[in-house]
C-alpha cells in the first residue's frame, strides 16, 4: 500500500460541525430510548436485554467482524506508525484501568470490562461517519484500521482475560486448557480470524453470502443499543457515580491526550492520519463492553452508565477536539 498522502484540511466553523455531530449521535440516543421505553412500558420482558444481546454476540457481531476482516486487504494494515499511536494509546488506558481496578479488589473479569469502558471508542457507529464528515474519504483507511484494532484486537484481549478470571481450576495447566476450549468456541474470536484468513487467501465472499453478512452485521450496533436501553429501563440496578466519572474522564480526556502526544510528537504521523487517530480515540465508549458484561453475566450498571454518559458528554468534548485540531 502506498504511503498515506499528507493532506491539509480546513475545518468548517464550529456551528457547522456541531450540528452534523449531533445528527450522528442522536440516533444512538434514539435506539437506547426505544429499548428503555419498551422495558418501562413492559412491551419487552425482563429477559429481553439478555436475549437480544445473545443474538448480537452469536450472530450479528460475528457477521460484522467477519465481513470487516474479509474485505480488508492485509496490505492496508501496513501502517505500523498509525497502529502504534492508536494502539498504544488504547492499550495504555486499558492496562491502567485494569491494574487500578484489580488493586481495588475488583474481579479480573469485571476489571477487564472496566478497562474496555475506559478505552473502547465507538469507532464503527460514530467514528466512520464523523471522520468522513470532518476529514473526507482520505480518513476512511485509518478509521477502518482503528475499528479493527478496537473491535477485534481489544475485544479479543478482554475476552481472554475474562475467561482467565472465570476459571476456578487451581492448576495452571487445567486453567489454560479450559480457557483454550472456551476461546476456540467463541464466535467473537473465530469470526475475525476466519475473515482475515479469507482475505489473505485472495478469495471473495459469494454474492449471496455477502448479502446475508450485511443484513446480520447491520443489526449489530442497533440491537446492542436497544439492549442497552432495555437494561437501563430495568429497576434496581446500582450506579457507581464515582467509578463511572473516572472511566468517562479516562475515555474522553486521557485517551485522546495520550494519542495526540503519540501521533504528533512520538511517531510524527502525517497530519491527516494524526488528526484521525486523535478524533477516533476521543469518541465515547462503544457498546462492546456492555455486550460482554451481559454475555458473561457480570454487573452492568457501571458499563451502561459509562456508555450513556460518555456519549452525552462527547458532544462537547469531541467538538472541542475537532476545533483544537483546526
Residue with cell 478509521: 143
Can you give the pLDDT at residue 238? 57
Cα dist. 322→31, 137, 144, 179 in Å? 26, 17, 19, 42
Among 81-95, 106-120, 198-212, 312-326, name the one with the lowest average pLDDT.
312-326
Which is more confidently placed, 3 or 161? 161
Given this model, what pLDDT does residue 8 score? 40
Residue 286 confidence (pLDDT) above 50: yes
Mean pLDDT of 187-214: 92
pLDDT of res. 114: 97
Q: Say how far apart CA 20 and CA 67 lie, in whole Å.
A: 27
Of 141 and 256, the one with more pLDDT: 256
pLDDT over 60 at 6, yes or no: no
Summarised one tens digit per residue, pLDDT across range 229-254 is 999 888 655 567 889 999 999 999 99
Percentage of residues of the chain with pLDDT beyond 70: 91
In this model, does residue 48 exceed pLDDT 60?
A: yes
Residue 174: which pLDDT band, with cuts at 50, 70 and 90?
Answer: confident
Q: For 53-97, write each residue's pLDDT tens digit.
A: 999 999 999 999 999 999 989 988 889 999 999 999 999 999 999
3-state secondary structure of 9: coil
The pLDDT, as a whole number, for residue 17 is 56
Task: Give me the mean pLDDT over the 247-263 stretch.
Answer: 97
Single pTM value for the model: 0.86
Q: Rounded to an integer, what distance in angstroms lies between the CA atom of residue 259 and that of residue 281?
A: 7
Q: Among candidates 36, 19, 110, which has minimal Cα distance to 302? A: 110
Vertex 100 angle, CA 99 and 105, to 5°? 95
pLDDT computed for residue 11 by the predictor: 42
Domain ranges for the chain: 14-321
DSSP conformational letter for 235: S
pLDDT at res. 12: 45
Whether the CA torsion 164, 165, 167, 172 is positive or negative: it is: positive
Specify which of 91-100, 159-168, 317-326 reaches the highest per-range mean pLDDT: 91-100
Q: Average per-residue pLDDT in the chain?
A: 88
> Which of the following CATH numbers is that of domain 14-321: 3.20.20.70, 3.30.1330.60, 1.10.1060.10, 1.20.1530.20?
1.20.1530.20
- CA 234, CA 88: separation in Å to the nearest integer? 37
Condensed to tens digits (0 to 9), the pLDDT of residues 11-45 reads: 444 555 556 677 888 888 899 999 999 999 999 99
Amino acid at each position: 500500500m502506498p504511503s498515506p498522502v499528507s493532506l491539509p484540511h480546513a475545518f468548517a466553523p464550529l456551528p457547522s460541525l456541531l450540528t452534523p455531530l449531533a445528527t450522528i449521535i442522536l440516533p444512538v440516543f434514539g435506539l437506547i430510548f426505544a429499548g428503555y421505553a419498551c422495558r418501562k412500558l413492559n412491551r419487552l420482558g425482563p429477559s429481553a436485554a439478555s436475549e437480544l444481546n445473545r443474538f448480537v454476540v452469536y450472530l450479528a457481531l460475528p457477521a460484522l467482524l467477519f465481513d470487516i476482516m474479509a474485505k480488508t486487504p492485509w496490505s492496508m494494515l501496513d501502517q505500523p506508525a498509525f497502529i502504534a499511536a492508536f494502539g498504544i494509546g488504547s492499550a495504555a488506558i486499558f492496562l491502567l484501568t485494569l491494574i487500578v481496578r484489580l488493586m481495588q479488589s475488583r474481579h479480573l473479569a469485571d476489571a477487564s470490562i472496566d478497562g474496555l469502558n475506559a478505552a473502547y471508542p465507538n469507532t464503527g457507529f460514530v467514528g466512520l461517519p464523523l471522520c468522513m464528515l470532518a476529514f473526507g474519504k482520505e480518513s476512511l483507511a485509518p478509521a477502518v484500521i482503528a475499528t479493527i484494532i478496537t473491535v477485534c484486537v481489544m475485544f479479543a484481549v478482554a475476552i481472554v482475560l475474562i475467561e482467565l478470571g472465570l476459571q476456578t481450576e487451581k492448576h495452571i495447566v487445567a486453567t489454560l486448557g479450559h480457557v483454550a476450549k472456551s476461546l476456540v468456541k467463541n464466535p467473537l474470536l473465530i469470526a475475525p480470524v476466519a475473515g482475515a484468513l479469507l482475505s489473505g487467501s485472495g478469495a471473495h465472499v459469494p454474492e449471496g453470502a455477502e448479502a446475508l453478512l450485511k443484513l446480520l452485521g447491520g443489526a449489530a450496533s442497533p440491537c446492542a443499543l436497544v439492549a442497552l436501553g432495555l437494561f437501563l429501563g430495568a429497576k434496581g440496578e446500582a450506579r457507581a457515580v464515582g467509578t463511572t466519572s473516572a472511566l468517562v474522564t479516562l475515555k474522553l480526556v486521557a485517551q485522546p491526550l495520550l494519542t495526540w502526544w503519540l501521533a504528533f510528537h512520538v511517531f510524527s504521523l502525517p497530519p491527516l492520519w494524526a488528526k484521525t487517530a486523535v478524533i477516533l480515540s476521543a469518541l465515547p465508549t462503544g457498546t462492546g463492553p456492555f455486550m460482554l458484561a451481559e454475555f458473561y453475566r457480570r454487573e452492568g450498571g457501571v458499563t451502561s452508565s459509562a456508555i450513556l454518559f460518555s456519549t452525552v458528554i462527547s458532544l462537547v468534548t469531541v467538538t472541542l477536539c475537532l476545533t483544537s485540531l483546526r
